[in-house]
C-alpha cells in the first residue's frame, strides 16, 4: 500500500493487486489489534534491531524514518502515542485507523485497487519487466514495473503465504530459506503445562546452541501448554528456529533471580531457611517464588517435599540455588509459520539495490517489505521496515518508469 501510493504520487499509473477480500489484513491484527506501527527510538539505533541484514535498511530508513511515518499518518488524522519500550501506537488503540489511512492515501493518489486476485508470474523480456500474470485467469496486465510486496510466509491466514518467493525463484533470484521468527517454542519438558498462563516478569532467559550461549534477554516470559512464550522468548526464538532447522541441540535457561549472584541467592536462601527452619521444604519457598511455581521447583530440586528445612543439606541448597538461576528447558521446536509474527529469510538482499529496492537481475522489478530477507525484533521495527522499503520502492519504481522505459 505504501509502495503503490508512493509510485502513484510520483506520477505512475498504478494497479494494486491484493489476493484477500480486504486490504491490510496483517496490519489489522498487528500489535494485538492496536498496531505498533513503529518505534520512537533514535533512528540511528534501528539497524541493530534487525538481526542479520539490518544494514540493508540503512538507505530506506534514512529516507523515510519513524518521524516521517508518524507524520505521514498524522496527515491522515491519526494521532499516535508512545508506550513502554518507545513503541508507537495509534491513540485510538485500533489498527483499523492505520488501514483506513492507507486506503485513503491510495484513493487520494489515484491507485486502482483490485481485491480478491492473486498475482502470479512477473512477465519479462530481455531481463526487463513487461507485465504481471494473474494466477487464476492467466490474464496478463501489461506493466513497465512491478513491485512485489507479498509479505513473508508467517501467519498465512492474512494472505502472506510466501507467494513472492516463487515469483523470485522463477526469475533467478535466490531465496534464503524462510523460517518462523518471533514465535513461541515447544519444550521437551512437560512441566510448563502445569504453569500455563503464568507470566514471569524481570527474569533472564539465555539460549544455548550445542552447549554454547548465543543470546540472552531480560524481561517478561510466559508458560503455556506446549512450552514457553512471551516477549523475551519470542526474541530468542529466531536463534532457536535457525539452530533447530539444521538439527542442532537448543536449550533455554531461565534465571529466576537475575538481580542476585549465586552467592547472594545462597545467602538469601540461608536467611529464608533460618526463618522457616521448622517448616517442611515444600512450605518454605513462598517468599521466593510465585505460588504456582513452588510444586514444580520442589519436584525439580530432588529434595523431598516433606523434609524439614533444618535437615536440608548444603549440597541440596546449592542444587536449589543452581535450579533457580538456571532453570533448564530443552527446545524441541517452534509453533511454526502459523504462529510466527515474522519470517526470517526471503529474497537475498545481495540481489536487491538498497537505494532503490530494484532487483539487480531484472530491470523494473522492485521488492518491498517482509518478502525481503529482513526481520526485526518486536517493538514496531517490522512495520517500519515494510513502510520504509515500500516508500523507497514506490518512489524508485515511478522514477524508473519515467526515465528508463
Site for ligand FAD in 115-144 (CB under 6 A): 118-119
Contact window for ligand FAD (CB under 6 A) among 13-21, 256-264, 272-280, 297-305: 13-21
Q: Which three cell numbers stand for residue 172?
A: 533467478
- Within 10 A of 137 (CB to CB), how many other CB atoms are there? 10
Select 165 or 276, whichever has its Cβ closest to ligand FAD.
165
Q: Which three cell numbers stand for residue 335?
A: 509453533
Q: Which three cell numbers stand for residue 312?
A: 536440608
Contact window for ligand FAD (CB under 6 A) among 74-82, 150-158, 231-239, 280-288: 150-158
160 binds ligand FAD (CB under 6 A): yes
**Gap between the Cα atoms of 42 and 45, Å rounded:** 6
Contact window for ligand FAD (CB under 6 A) among 44-52, 278-286, 288-296, 377-385: 377-385
Q: Chain centroid to CA 23: how far?
A: 21
**Gap between the Cα atoms of 223 and 197, Å rounded:** 6
Q: Which of 42, 192, 124, 200 is nearest to 362 (CA)?
A: 124
Q: Which of 397, 305, 319 is nearest to 355 (CA)?
A: 397
Select 192 or 369, whichever has its Cβ closest to ligand FAD.
369
Query: Strand, helix or coil at 307?
Result: coil
Select 181 or 207, whichever has its Cβ closest to ligand FAD.
181
Site for ligand FAD in 284-343 (CB under 6 A): 341-342
Which listed residue (251, 266, 358, 370) binds ligand FAD by CB under 6 A? Answer: 370
Shortest reach from residue 125's CB to ligand FAD, in Å: 21
Number of residues that bind ligand FAD (CB under 6 A): 33
Select 15 or 289, whichever has its Cβ closest to ligand FAD.
15
Which listed residue (4, 7, 14, 17) binds ligand FAD by CB under 6 A? Answer: 17
Cα–Cα distances in Å, from 73 out to 29, 30, 80, 91, 149? 18, 16, 9, 12, 20
Shortest reach from residue 244's CB to ligand FAD, in Å: 20
- Within 10 A of 229 (CB to CB), how many other CB atoms are there? 20
Which listed residue (4, 12, 14, 19) binds ligand FAD by CB under 6 A? Answer: 19
Which listed residue (4, 8, 12, 18) binds ligand FAD by CB under 6 A? Answer: 18
**Gap between the Cα atoms of 307 and 276, Å rounded:** 12
Q: Are strands 185-187 and 327-334 parallel, antiparallel or unpaired?
A: antiparallel
**Gap between the Cα atoms of 112 and 246, Å rounded:** 44
Contact window for ligand FAD (CB under 6 A) among 102-110, 151-159, 248-256, 283-291: 151-159
**Gap between the Cα atoms of 280 and 271, Å rounded:** 15
Shortest reach from residue 160's CB to ligand FAD, in Å: 3
Q: Which residues contact ligand FAD by CB under 6 A?
A: 17-20, 25-27, 29-31, 35-36, 118-119, 149-151, 154-155, 158-160, 163, 341-342, 369-371, 380-383, 386
Amino acid at each position: 500500500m505504501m509502495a503503490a501510493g508512493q509510485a502513484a504520487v510520483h506520477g505512475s499509473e498504478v494497479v494494486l493487486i491484493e489476493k484477500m477480500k480486504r486490504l491490510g489484513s496483517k496490519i489489522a491484527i498487528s500489535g494485538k489489534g492496536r498496531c505498533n506501527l513503529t518505534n520512537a527510538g533514535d533512528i540511528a539505533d534501528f539497524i541493530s534491531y534487525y538481526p542479520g541484514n539490518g544494514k540493508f535498511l540503512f538507505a530506506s530508513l534514512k529516507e523515510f524514518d519513524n518521524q516521517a511515518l508518524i507524520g505521514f499518518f498524522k496527515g491522515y488524522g491519526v494521532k499516535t502515542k508512545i508506550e513502554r519500550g518507545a513503541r508507537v501506537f495509534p491513540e485510538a488503540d485500533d489498527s483499523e485507523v492505520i488501514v483506513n489511512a492507507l486506503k485513503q492515501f491510495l484513493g487520494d493518489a489515484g491507485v486502482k485497487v483490485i481485491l480478491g486476485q492473486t498475482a502470479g508470474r512477473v512477465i519479462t523480456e530481455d531481463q526487463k519487466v513487461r507485465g504481471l500474470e494473474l494466477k487464476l485467469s492467466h490474464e496478463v496486465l501489461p506493466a513497465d514495473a512491478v513491485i512485489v510486496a507479498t509479505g513473508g510466509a508467517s501467519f498465512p491466514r492474512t494472505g502472506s503465504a510466501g507467494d513472492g518467493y516463487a515469483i523470485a525463484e522463477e526469475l533467478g533470484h535466490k531465496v534464503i530459506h524462510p523460517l518462523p521468527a518471533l514465535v513461541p517454542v515447544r519444550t521437551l519438558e512437560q512441566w510448563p503445562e502445569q504453569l500455563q498462563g503464568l507470566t514471569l516478569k524481570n527474569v533472564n532467559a539465555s539460549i544455548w546452541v550445542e552447549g554454547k550461549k548465543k543470546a540472552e534477554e531480560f524481561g517478561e516470559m510466559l508458560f503455556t501448554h506446549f512450552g514457553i512464550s512471551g516477549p523475551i522468548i519470542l526474541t530468542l526464538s529466531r536463534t532457536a528456529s535457525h539452530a533447530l532447522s539444521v538439527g542442532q541441540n537448543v536449550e533455554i535457561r531461565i534465571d529466576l533471580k537475575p538481580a542476585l549472584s549465586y552467592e547472594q541467592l545462597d545467602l538469601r536462601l540461608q536467611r529464608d531457611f533460618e526463618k522457616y527452619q521448622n517448616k517442611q521444604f515444600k512450605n518454605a519457598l513462598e517468599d521466593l517464588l510465585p505460588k504456582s511455581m513452588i510444586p514444580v521447583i520442589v519436584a525439580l530440586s530432588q529434595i523431598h517435599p516433606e523434609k524439614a528445612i533444618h535437615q536440608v543439606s548444603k549440597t541440596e541448597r546449592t542444587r536449589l540455588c543452581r535450579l533457580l538461576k538456571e532453570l533448564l528447558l530443552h527446545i524441541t521446536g517452534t509453533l511454526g509459520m502459523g504462529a510466527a509474527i515474522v519470517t526470517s529469510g526471503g529474497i537475498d538482499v545481495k540481489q536487491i539495490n538498497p537505494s532503490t529496492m530494484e532487483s539487480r537481475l531484472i530491470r523494473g522489478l522492485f521488492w518491498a517489505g517482509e518478502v525481503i530477507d529482513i526481520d526485526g525484533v518486536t517493538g514496531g521495527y517490522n512495520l517500519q521496515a515494510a513502510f520504509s522499503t515500500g516508500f523507497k520502492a514506490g518512489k524508485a519504481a515511478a522514477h524508473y518508469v519515467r526515465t528508463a522505459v
